[in-house]
Amino acid sequence: MKTRIKNAAAMLTMDNDARELSGVDVMIEDGVIIAVGPDISDADTVVDVTGCVVTPGLVNTHHHLYQTLTRAVPGGQDALLFGWLQTLYPIWSRFGPEEMFVSAQIGLAELALSGCTLTSDHLYLYPNGARLDDTIAAAHEVGLRFHPTRGAMSIGESDGGLPPDSLVEREAHILEDCIRVIDAHHDPRDGSMVRVGVAPCSPFSVSRDLMRDAAILARDKGVMLHTHLAENDEDIAYSLEKFGCRPGQYAEDLGWTGPDVWHAHCVKLDGQEIDLFSKSRTGVAHCPCSNCRLGSGIAPVRAMRDAGVRVGLGVDGSASNDSGNLVAEARQVLLLQRVVNGADAMSAREALFIATRGGAEVLGRSDCGQIAVGKRADIAIWDVSGVESAGSWDPAALLLAGPTRVKHLFVEGRQVVRDGHVTTIDLPRAVERQNTLARALMI
Ligand SMILES: [Zn+2]
């Protein structure tokens, strides 16, 4: 089965030569891009994209899908990170498998509509029988490429931690379950649709031993490591007080730097930590809207990229954003870097690179993130004939004047969004289920 995406007005390939093409086609077969160029011969299926801009699918490097069930919770709307968490923990402790599955479906569909083809997820609480498998089942249905991470919290309130005791797990059990989900679901091959990572929630919710053991386990299994790091001033103060060092030092001491590690936020990294991340090839998931929403600050993305740090984008959880629109994050990174560094600090094309290939590199996916022969067929198609782009002199500058939803989306060659609608699940029904569950949690 060959699919031909025909006559793109503009194509931002993000390939090694950063080529921008116009009037070209893409041919897909068995989930792989087999040709890019003008007038490719006919296929079994032809999708005419005249008047559209074609980009690689966007890559989301940080999310907590379950939080789509707790958007805009009144008590957390205006709180800083730690207060926000303490408002939400008791609500999350009432979740179970159905809440995890439905909230993931909604979050994944929302991402797909905003151009995302590959997403990671960070699930760090497992109340009432919930499992990582619940979210993997949702990703399988929606059809996105998925990197779930087995998160964890082990230090509850009674041990001086932030989460309530009811949401923490025994460390031995956490490690056992990491092994279980890796063995059951992790696929390291090219074109893989599921890769599992190991992801204790943050240095302030697990022990030093668990951080170290998690790194050893991940390397033994050949999977990646992920956590939250240096998110805001409270986070730095906690690290200095409890560990006697800054977060970068803590991470390095416990084996949490390297090309197989990526950290979320890193808003407060200093110059030395940026050097450490650059030398060790440690990745960063930058979450600009969440950082704004929680008042955490502006991550030094310009300095990171100039130092050679690999940076991708993340929407972060939908309780701290509260939107899961990835192309909106790409616009936000551009705006925030300009606030700090001036109008020439980041171009629309560079921000789109971070949102696509940058994210794929952070997640260790050299097979994704660009439109080139031999790469996986993860492709976003943007209709620039609408009101948002009307009058644009440069429609390929999507982030300055472009749509915030895709027209079509292909993942591994399969059409997941067609004419602005998710094809794989009954989305209106899922929304109804989600709202029913949310109403039950409010009682
Ligand atoms: Zn997060």
pLDDT at 82 over 90: no
Cα(first)–Cα(last) distance of the chain, in Å?
Answer: 50
Q: How confident is the model at residue 420 (pLDDT cuts 50, 70, 90)?
A: very high
Q: Would strands 261-265 and 224-229 be described as parallel, antiparallel, or unpaired?
A: parallel
> For the ranges 21-25, 36-40, 235-239, 338-342, which has the lowest average pLDDT?
36-40
Q: How far is ligand 1, taken at its centre, from the CA of residue 65, in Å?
A: 10
Q: How far is ligand 1, taken at its centre, from the CA of residue 60, in Å?
A: 12
The helix/strand/coil state of 393 is: coil
Per-residue model confidence as pLDDT tens digits over 59-76: 999 999 999 999 999 988
Residue written as token pair 């870097």: 337
pLDDT at 236 over 90: yes
pLDDT at 416 over 90: yes
Q: How far is ligand 1, taken at its centre, from the CA of residue 42, in Å?
A: 45
Residue 71 has, within 13 A of its CA and on its CB side, a CA count of 16
Q: How far is ligand 1, taken at its centre, from the CA of residue 123, in Å?
A: 9
3-state helix, strand, coil in the chain (%, to 5): 40, 20, 40
Q: How far is ligand 1, taken at its centre, from the CA of residue 346, in Å?
A: 24
User: Distance between CA 152 and CA 99 in Å, rounded?
Assistant: 18
Q: How far is ligand 1, taken at its centre, from the CA of residue 202, in Å?
A: 9
pLDDT at 318 over 90: no
pLDDT score of 80: 81
Q: How far is ligand 1, taken at its centre, from the CA of residue 291, in Å?
A: 10
Query: DSSP state, 201?
Result: S
Instruction: For ligand 1, an ion, list residues with CB under 5 A.
Output: 316
Q: Give mean pLDDT, residues 259-264.
A: 98
Q: Give mean pLDDT, residues 144-170.
A: 94
pLDDT score of 253: 97
pLDDT score of 225: 98
Beta-carbon contacts of residue 147 (< 8 Å; ≥ 6 apart): 118, 119, 120, 121, 194, 195, 196, 197, 224, 363
pLDDT score of 368: 98
Q: How far is ligand 1, taken at its centre, from the CA of residue 216, in Å?
A: 23
Q: How far is ligand 1, taken at its centre, from the CA of residue 64, in Å?
A: 6
User: Distance between CA 368 and CA 412 in Å, rounded?
Assistant: 10
Q: How far is ligand 1, taken at its centre, from the CA of residue 63, in Å?
A: 6
pLDDT score of 256: 98
Q: How confident is the model at residue 39 (pLDDT cuts 50, 70, 90)?
A: confident
> For the ranges 30-44, 138-152, 175-189, 408-422, which has the lowest average pLDDT?
30-44
pLDDT score of 319: 80
Q: How far is ligand 1, taken at its centre, from the CA of residue 226, in Å?
A: 10
Phi, psi (degrees; rounded to nearest 5) at 305: -65, -40
Q: How far is ligand 1, taken at its centre, from the CA of residue 25, in Å?
A: 38
pLDDT score of 153: 96
pLDDT score of 382: 98
Q: Give mean pLDDT, residues 45-63.
A: 97
Give the H or E element holding residue 58.
strand 58-60
Beta-carbon contacts of residue 416 (< 8 Å; ≥ 6 apart): 112, 117, 142, 143, 144, 409, 410, 422, 423, 424
Residue pair 358/334 in contact by the 8 Å Cβ criterion: no
Mean model confidence pLDDT for the chain: 96
Give yes or no for a cis peptide into 133 (omega within 30° of 0).
no
pLDDT score of 75: 87
Q: How far is ligand 1, taken at its centre, from the CA of residue 413, in Å?
A: 30
